[in-house]
Amino acid sequence: MALDSRSLSPAQRYALVLVDLSVGFTDPTKSPLASECPAVIEANSKLLEAFRQRGWPVIFTTVAYDDPSQARVFREKIPALNVLAAGSELVRIDPRLAPQEGEPVLVKFWASAFFGTDLALRLHDAGVDGVMVTGLTTSGCVRATALDALQHEFRVLLPEQAVGDRDAQAHQANLRDLQIKYADVRDLEDCLALLG
Residues assigned a catalytic role: 141
Return d(Cα 191, Cα 157) in angstroms, integer: 8
Cα distances (angstroms) measured from residue 111 to each of 61, 62, 135, 147: 10, 10, 12, 11
**Hey, what amino acid is at 196?**
G
Q: Distance between terminal CA atoms of the chain?
A: 38
C-alpha closest to that of 17 among 91, 99, 139, 110: 99
Comparing CA positions, the residue from 50, 9, 16, 14 lying closest to residue 134 is 16
CB-neighbour burial class of residue 11 (10 A; exposed 0-12, middle 13-18, buried 19+) = middle
Q: Whole-angstrom Cα distance, residue 61 to residue 80? A: 18
